Amino acid sequence: MEYGLVETVVNGGLTIKEYRRGIRFGTDALLLAHFASGRLGNGLCADFGTGSGVLPLLLSAAGCRCNFLAVELQEKYAALARENALANGFGEKISVLWGDLREYRTLFPAGSLQGVVSNPPYLPAGSGKQNLAEEKRMAWHDDTLSAEALAEAAAWGLSTGGKFFCVYLPSRMAGLMNALKKNRLEPKRLQLVVPAHGESPSLLLLEARKDGAEGLEILPELPLYTDATRKAESPQLLRIKNFYQLFEE
């Protein structure tokens, strides 16, 4: 199947090329980048499952001082992420690695990362539509990267005190928490995302710290819309979207 490229403009200074009929970034990436921004430090950080390179681009453009190692399983998306980094002037700040995170020991040295961000596959293997294109199945279903495999890779790469950030499904939070704690990644901050106040959460944002002390901060829930009609975006979501205007040139 042939995929044409489209350009997604986040603000006046950042343009991301994506495959028209392929994996496209959405609100979850904006939420996660905002959640992690300002908390990654100055060292080497990684994006696990970078796709077209959206998270490192957003975080770099927003002023994060770390350099990024962007790891992607699918070769065509790794190439596109590299192209996007170069086109937006971040070729020296974002290095793209085509590789399988289940083989993390071959990808980066132990303890070499100060931070990890990830918008990983979070649908259970075999769930949902079964006629998805292979590249979408790999990006959305966790047979390519389970919570356990994600936690193992992050724990291997992070130095003591290093931070891990991800977006995930609330219905699978217990498994994620168990995988993180099993791998010495202590959950430290949690925010539930709801379509509107009074509705069940649709996403969660989580920060964990390698070898951190026990203690989880629960942030106020984040509504995406003002009410159940979902016609008007919430002030919280508008503030997050406006945050990305701060790095316009």
CB 31 within 8 A of CB 105: no
- The answer to whether residue 217 scores a pLDDT higher than 90 is yes
Domain membership flag for residue 20 = no
Domain membership flag for residue 48 = yes
Give mean pLDDT, residues 150-179. 97
3-state helix, strand, coil split of the chain in percent (to 5) is 35, 30, 40
CB 211 within 8 A of CB 186: yes
pTM: 0.92
Residue that is written with structure tokens 């980066």 in the block: 108
Range of the structural domain that residue 64 is part of: 26-247
At 6-27, the pLDDT tens digits run 888 876 678 899 988 777 888 9
Give mean pLDDT, residues 35-62. 94
Domain membership flag for residue 183 = yes
Residue 248 banded pLDDT, cuts 50, 70, 90: very low
Give the CATH number for residue 70: 3.40.50.150
Give the largest Cα separation in the chain, rounded: 49
Domain membership flag for residue 21 = no
- The answer to whether residue 223 scores a pLDDT higher than 50 is yes
Q: How many domains does the chain divide into? A: 1
DSSP β-ladder status, 203-210 and 158-168: antiparallel
Residue 2 banded pLDDT, cuts 50, 70, 90: very low
At 117-138, the pLDDT tens digits run 999 987 666 565 554 566 665 5
Q: Which residues contact 171 (CB under 8 A, 6 or more apart)?
A: none
Domain membership flag for residue 19 = no
Task: Report angle CA 70, 72, 73 to the nearest 5 degrees.
Answer: 160
Domain membership flag for residue 14 = no
